């Protein structure tokens, strides 16, 4: 059985599969990250695949922060946000758009269709039985207890975008797009 297990939290039933660098399930789903690392996690309950952060510096490091930036006027509520205002490694501009492009160019887990998550998607991996961070770190190691940007701008306040808290698992809030937040990318697997 390649399923890590079902863990019931207030947010629902979790059904995660750890994936290697090629997007294939690990043989040992009980693996400990420091012994056998994985790059992505498939959520079999929602049909989403999630990026796993690293602690080794570089593009996907847990400590990287980004400003919210999306130049697409149809998606940014009238304000593109701030380019290159975060603090990150990996030789890219430290904003959400640049990060998405870099991860897609790198082909994380064999895919190039990674994107920013919605509030609902990001909240689907919050584990309300955990805090600091409010996520199952045996599945999502190297997660910092901080807020993560969503793809959603605040329609009423164009200079703001929504983020989800992973300190206590609190609801999503909006913040200045020029602010620095973490990012965890997602992709749809239900269409495969």
pLDDT, tens only, 146-158: 999 999 999 999 9
192 in any annotated domain:
no
Please tell me the distance from the alpha carbon of residue 192 to that of residue 188, in angstroms, as a whole number. 8
Class of residue 178 by CB neighbours under 10 A (exposed 0-12, middle 13-18, buried 19+): middle
23 in any annotated domain:
no
178 in any annotated domain:
yes
Residue 191 contacts by C-beta under 8 Å, 6 or more apart in sequence? none
Domain hosting 120: range is 53-186
- Please count the structural domains in the chain: 1
97 in any annotated domain:
yes
pLDDT of residue 170: 80
Given a cut of 70, whether residue 190 has pLDDT beyond it is no
Q: What is the pLDDT of residues 75-128, one digit of tens each?
A: 999 999 999 999 999 899 999 999 999 999 999 999 999 999 999 999 999 999
Taking the whole predicted model, whether its pTM rises above 0.85 is answered as yes
112 in any annotated domain:
yes
Residue 133 contacts by C-beta under 8 Å, 6 or more apart in sequence? 143, 144, 145, 146, 166, 167
Of the candidates 158, 161, 157, the one whose C-alpha atom is nearest the C-alpha of residue 67 is 161
11 in any annotated domain:
no
């Amino acid at each position: 059985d390649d399923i890590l297990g079902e863990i019931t939290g207030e947010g629902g039933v979790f059904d995660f599969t750890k994936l290697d660098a090629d997007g294939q399930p690990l043989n040992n789903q009980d693996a400990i990250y420091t012994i056998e690392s994985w790059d992505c996690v498939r959520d079999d309950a929602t049909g989403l695949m999630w990026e796993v952060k690293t602690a080794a510096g570089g593009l996907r490091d847990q400590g990287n922060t980004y400003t919210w930036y999306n130049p697409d006027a149809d998606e940014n509520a009238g304000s593109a946000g701030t380019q290159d205002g975060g603090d990150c490694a990996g030789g890219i501009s430290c904003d959400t758009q640049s990060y998405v492009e870099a991860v897609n160019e790198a082909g994380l887990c064999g895919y190039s269709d990674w994107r920013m998550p919605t509030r609902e998607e990001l909240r689907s991996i919050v584990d309300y039985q955990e805090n600091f961070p409010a996520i199952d770190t045996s599945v999502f190691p190297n997660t910092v207890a901080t807020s993560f940007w969503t793809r959603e701008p605040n329609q009423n306040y164009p200079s703001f975008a929504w983020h989800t808290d992973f300190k206590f698992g609190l609801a999503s809030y909006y913040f200045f797009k020029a602010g620095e937040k973490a990012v965890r990318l997602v992709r749809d697997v239900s269409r495969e």
